Amino acid sequence: MFGGLTGSKSSSSDFGERMLNAVASQSIRHLFTQSETVDVEIRCNPSSKLLQGSVDSFKMWGRHLVIRRDFLVEEMSFETDAVSIDPGSILGGNIRLKQPTQAVAQVVLTEDAINRAFTAELVKKRLVNVDLEAVTNLSGGEPISFRDVKVELRPDNQIKLMAKTDLPNRADVPLSLSATLTVEKRRRISFKNPKFEPDAIPDSMLSLAEILSMAFAQILDNMVDLDRFDLDGVTLRVNRLETHGKNLVFSGYAQIDHFPGTR
């Protein structure tokens, strides 16, 4: 744990503190398919306020968290504003909020985890049987699929993406592009200013690869919406994202409507 509660303690509030820590940790763990570490700190001063259901803030930090079985988060943290809870709910083994609350949040993804995400069914199904006009013009009207996606994070919010696709008369067409990662409407990750990267593309495929790479960028630009990854009772919103070496760091806030498993 980060720490305990501060302030004067009576025996009843001390019991409530221990219960609240335990219940909060267990509830947050339920957000994730797997978790290596989940630490919770509850601030309440004086601690007797807990008996009336008043908490100054919750702070959570987690490491190696798996969301929906396939999406690995290296680190996630959030800290709420003041929270009003039903003190009686703690004895029942859960935490019921009297009203929604907001928290400052940060999420760290690694380059490896992003590449792993492209193998998840939720993502792969959006890259299969694509029927954009830009690609069907090259495939005789048939939809095509993208596979073997590889991501490379670069400084200054730049990203390089490589993939492959097949056309009716040409297999294993390689794609390669770079783009700038930005945030749209606090929830959608956008791939701005895509540029074809011809290095390592065979001369015989340059024209095809450029058209298909730009089409691939268009598909990605409409695909990454955080609403598809909402947790139970928690909605994430992003104010800023930054590449730091092999990590992608999201900073924003979480809207917490209820603790996991409670409504």
pTM recorded for the entire structure: 0.85
Instruction: Determine contact, residues 145/126, Cβ cutoff 8 Å.
Output: no
pLDDT for res 5: 40
Which residue has tokens 């930005």? Answer: 182
Average pLDDT of adjacent 10-residue blocks, the chain of 263 residues: 42 64 80 88 82 87 89 93 84 82 94 94 90 85 94 97 93 96 90 94 94 93 74 84 96 85 60
Instruction: Determine contact, residues 205/173, Cβ cutoff 8 Å.
Output: yes
Residue range 33-48, pLDDT digits in tens: 899 999 888 888 887 7
Q: What residues form DSSP beta bridges with 190?
A: 182
**Nearest-angstrom CA–CA distance, 178 and 194:** 6
